[in-house]
Amino acid sequence: MILRGKKVILRPLKLSDAFDMVKWLGDPQVRKFMSMGKVAINQEKKWIKDVLKKKTERVFGVDTLDRKHIGNIGLHLKPQNKNASFGIFIGDKNYWSHRYGTDAMKTILNYGFKKLGLHKIFLDVYEYNRRAINLYLDMGFKLAGIKKEDRYRNNKFYDTYYMELFNKKWQKNKKRIMSL
């Protein structure tokens, strides 16, 4: 399945994406926003193979319109509750702060609520990831909880924010959000 936004194309992951992902996760500036450390190519290829097998995973490569792979985005379905956890990873820093993540997020949220009929989409984000938090707030997510001192990094503890967005709220604000 391919999903099209205004600036991005969300397409199924490919094994060749593992090379980009390993490169991106080798960069401390990128990795500080992730819950994982450096990975080896064989680990990343195995992860892609596993994701592609699972019916509860909707993970896509994020490509620019000219087909450059710049990140990944996904919904991890909890079908029994009509919910999904959400994750986004724009690994190519050349595409940070140029609204590619915004477009990818609008595209997958619309897919999750409209096509999959989800009731709620939720996520975790580290308190120091202000750019992501601002994006999530723009998309309509609300802070629903704080995991105090949940992340240890550079000899300091940081909170992890739990945020959620309900289908009703998405539908109510969809026109405004899609125009961002």
**Which pLDDT band, with edges at 50, 70 and 90, does 74 fall under?**
very high
pLDDT digits (tens, 9 = 90+) for 127-162: 999 999 999 999 999 999 999 999 998 899 999 999
- Which pLDDT belongs to residue 175? 87
Query: To the nearest whole percent, how much of the chain has pLDDT over 70?
Result: 99
Q: Which pair of tokens denotes residue 71?
A: 């990140």
Between the CA atoms of 138, 164, 108 and 78, what dihedral angle is there, to the nearest 10 degrees?
180
Boundaries of domain holding 165: 3-178
DSSP, collapsed to helix, strand or coil, labels residue 39 as coil
Residues 6+ apart with CB under 8 A from 159: 126, 127, 146, 147, 148, 149, 150, 151
pLDDT beyond 90 at 166: yes
Determine contact, residues 104/5, Cβ cutoff 8 Å: yes
pLDDT digits (tens, 9 = 90+) for 43-60: 999 999 999 999 999 999
What's the rounded Cα separation, in Å, for the pair 177 and 145? Answer: 23
CATH code for the domain of 97: 3.40.630.30
Number of structural domains in the chain: 1
Distances (CA, A) of 77 to 38, 50, 80, 174: 26, 15, 9, 21
What is the value of pTM for the model shown? 0.92
